[in-house]
Structure 1
Amino acid sequence: MKILYISPRFEGGIGGHAFGVAEKLRENGFDVKLMQVSHIPINNLKNPSFALFGALKAIFDREKYDAVHAWNVPSAIVMKFIKARKKILSVHGVYSEQVNVLHSDATSSIVNSTEAKILKLADILTTDSKSVQKTYKEKLGLDFVYLPAPIDTEKFKEIPEVKKIENQVVFVGRDSYEKGVDILKNIEPKITGKVIYCTNLSWKDAMTNLKASAVLVVPSRMESLPQSIKEAFYLKIPVVATNVGDIPDVVTNNETGLLIPPNDPQSLINAINSSLEQKENSARMASNAYDFVTKNFTWEELLPKYVDFYEKLLN
């Protein structure tokens, strides 16, 4: 079974998810090729340049595939030019909503008018988010297959043993408006600890910092389900997160973490300081979170779903 994956990169976030799936499928006899596409790193030019460069790359790709799998919405434009029996598109957030928040009115208008057409370039749609699945069904009448993003417990063996840093608070993710980094930066003086930002690090370096920290903070304004939360759960690092997207599906307040409203600096301050000060309660929640993630989000649990998905689609 020959499959092509298309993504802007294959480390961190969506790209890291795609790379991990490719590795596991190869171990199970699939032939998975990765197409990484470059772009111009300037706002409002990133996605158009990605689509252009990717389309040119696809046109000159003479291979035929059983399936092509695009791992974000701009990749769907590239996917259009690939010769394949089946075309798959994964969506990790409601694309038009993300663009409306981050880009100009002109860009938002274009995306809002073309979103449905782009999604319909795929034979089948997938998402790792139940909230995205629900929103697109209500908004456009489109059906998505829910395929959760697993954590690779074997990879954590690469993370070195580290000394815990007292009251270290960590953010892991993109430095982007929807991630709420600005909110965290503004409240730093009122936090009873030091905040570090892992915004442009390799996965290994980010996980090393996470492992050394006292709490992970996810102050997002909008989300699907950040992989960093599952990673913190596995490392038994307490989590403070906003109740947006799929986060409430995994962070149960005062059970597996502390859940707060988005855009609420005072609640964020209170939750972070509480997590730092009430260490026994934080350790209890972290233990519960570890049990939750190992029962629901490991490759041992989820690989059969991915294999079954591709086999049913192509047979």
Structure 2
Amino acid sequence: MKILFIAPKYSGGIGGHASRVAEKLQEHGFDVKLMHTPHIPIKKLKNPSFVLLSSLKAMIEGEKYDIVHAFNVPSAFAMKYTKAKKKILSIHGIYSEQVDALHSKTMYSIAKIAETKVLKWADKLTTDSKIVKKMYKEKLNANFEFFYAPLDIKKFEKLKNVEKNEKQIIFIGRDSYEKGIDVLKEIEPKINGKIIYCTDMKWEDAMENLKASSILVIPSRMESIPQVIKEAFYLKIPVIATNVGGIPELITNNVTGILVPPNDSEILLKNINELLVDNETAARLGNAGYEFVINNLTWEVLLPEYVKFYENLVNS
């Protein structure tokens, strides 16, 4: 089976997911190619330049595929112009709402129109959380299929052995409004421990810092499902996260982690400081998170679902 993946980049968030899926499908014997498209690295020009240049690339190259799989709304334009039997569009999170939180009202209006239009170009729509599937159905009457993004536990074998840093709190994610990093920084002077921020770091370095930490904090204002929660679960690092987006699909409060309201710095502070001294609860949460990810979210568990999805689609 010949498949083309299209994404603005193949690291972090949905782009990182695309890269991991491609790698696993290749290991399974699929012929998967990644479209790499240069674009202008300026905030307001990144997506428009990617849309234009990737679409031109798709039209000029003219190669035929069994499936073209686009990741996020900007990639859908190149998907439209790619010759393929079947077309898939994956969106993690509600795209127009993400744009609304980060950009101007004009950009939001453009994103909303684009979002409505591009959903109709795909034969299949997929997302990584139940809540996003539900919201798109309610918002645009769009039918999404839902697949959790699996965790590749074999990659953790490459990590160095690190010493635990007592009372170290870690943030891993983009330094941007939707990730709520400002909420954590606001309470940093009152936290009875040290915070490290991993905002632009190689995966191996971030994971070694996570492995050495006592708590992972995710103070996001909006999310689909952060991959770093699964990574913390596997390393048995307890997680404190906001109850937004798909996060409650992974974290059952006080069972596999601790959920707090978004934008509430005082409740976040209280839970961090309490967990820093409650070793019994920290260990219980870490162990429960590990069992959850091992039983539900690894490639060993989920790869057959992905393979079946692509095979069924191309044969339909």
> Does residue 180 of the first structure (1) align with residue 172 of the second (2)?
no
Aligned to 1:19: 19
Deviations 1:91-148 (A, max 9, x none): 0010011111111011111122232111111111000011110000011111001011
Q: Could you list the runs of 5+ residues in structure 1 that have no partner in the other structure? A: none
Divergent runs of 4+, >4 A: none
Amino acid across the alignment from 1:298: T
Secondary structure of 2:187's match?
A: helix
Amino acid across the alignment from 1:239: V
The answer to whether the 8 Å contact 2:2/2:66 transfers is: yes
- Superposed counterparts of 1:1-315, under 5 Å: 1-315=1-315
Q: How many angstroms apart in 1 are the aligned matches of 2:270 and 2:103?
A: 32
Displacement of 1:218 in angstroms is: 0.3
The answer to whether the 8 Å contact 1:12/1:202 transfers is: no
Amino acid across the alignment from 1:187: I
Identity %: 62
Q: How many angstroms apart in 2 are the aligned matches of 1:113 and 1:311?
A: 32
Moved more, 248-257 or 291-300: 248-257
Amino acid across the alignment from 1:243: N
Q: Could you list the runs of 5+ residues in structure 2 that have no partner in the other structure? A: none
Secondary structure of 1:161's match?
A: coil
The answer to whether the 8 Å contact 1:67/1:88 transfers is: yes
Secondary structure of 1:169's match?
A: strand
Moved more, 49-58 or 174-183: 49-58
Moved more, 35-44 or 273-282: 35-44
Q: How many angstroms apart in 2 are the aligned matches of 1:79 and 1:226?
A: 25
Q: How many angstroms apart in 1 are the aligned matches of 2:3 and 2:284?
A: 43
Displacement of 1:54 in angstroms is: 1.0
Secondary structure of 1:18's match?
A: helix
The answer to whether the 8 Å contact 2:151/2:299 transfers is: yes
Query: TM-score, normalised on structure 1?
Result: 0.98
The answer to whether the 8 Å contact 1:187/1:269 transfers is: yes
Amino acid across the alignment from 2:257: G
